[in-house]
Structure 1
């Protein structure tokens, strides 16, 4: 197995030292949890615009073959309707500013707001390998695949 590349973590909000730094919650967890660095509870109203929530951390991956993806915590999305306002956030290896979490309440209008508490684990970050192939411009493909026609090209 290949060694994991080091990733530098900068703590921007000292409260994370009490709440808990980003970490994998079980030995086989794929993603580490991110906390909401808020000064007061945040109410997300149903179908209102997404809010950017501070994570209190910055990273420097410094490896073009590594990226991170910010995803919703599946339990929160299922139980409360809290999802990422941008579906998933991509963090490039050269991005070194604070990681922000786009939080959105997907519940229908008239539902109760979702209340996010300071320090609450609201998202997860998954590190992924990046393959950067060499693009070769061609007039025609060297072989065919039989796949054409866009969405639904394989049938129902």
Structure 2
């Protein structure tokens, strides 16, 4: 498996003891990314109320190579056990973005959830980007499904 170099820098207020995103197993497609909270939130964490959304800081910025995106995905354990998901999942970090990477979390459970400093909050997946080139035509070619939409192929 090949690796694509991605430039990364920590923010001025980042806690350098918080590990950078890392693969947790040899077969992992996504890297776990951790919350790197502002100094004033590190002791108590950030409270994510039921139904609330929050941008969780990571303490780093990246410069992706042109032709790539970084996808932000939920951690399955957080989603199953706590009901905490990526609000815009999967989120996309574009190659030309240079600000701090933030993880948009949503609490879908009925219980408050506290995001602790250094906690693994999401996964990052590096992916190639293929851009569309629209070809406007008078009619689309037929298909077996046709115009059947939501639920048309079964339950």
With structure 2 as the length reference, what TM-score do the two structures score? 0.85
In the alignment of these two chains, the number of paired residues is: 148
- What residue number does 1:134 align with? 133
- What residue number does 2:25 align with? 26
- What residue number does 1:94 align with? 96
Matches within 5 A, 1:66-145: 66-108=68-110, 111=111, 113-141=112-140, 143-145=141-143
- What residue number does 1:43 align with? 47
Task: Give 1:103 shift.
Answer: 1.5
Distance 1:103 1:133, change over 3 A: closer
**Aligned-partner SS, 2:9:** strand
- What residue number does 1:59 align with? 62
In 2, the alpha carbon distance for the partners of 1:145 and 1:100 equals: 41
With structure 1 as the length reference, what TM-score do the two structures score? 0.85
Moved more, 93-102 or 130-139: 130-139
1:5-54 superposed Cα distances (whole Å, 9 cap, x missing partner): 32211222541x3121111111111111111111321111112x301111
Task: Give 1:70 shift.
Answer: 0.7
Task: Give 1:75 shift.
Answer: 0.7
Task: Give 1:123 shift.
Answer: 0.9
In 1, the alpha carbon distance for the partners of 2:143 and 2:115 equals: 48
Structure 2 unpaired stretches of 5+ = none
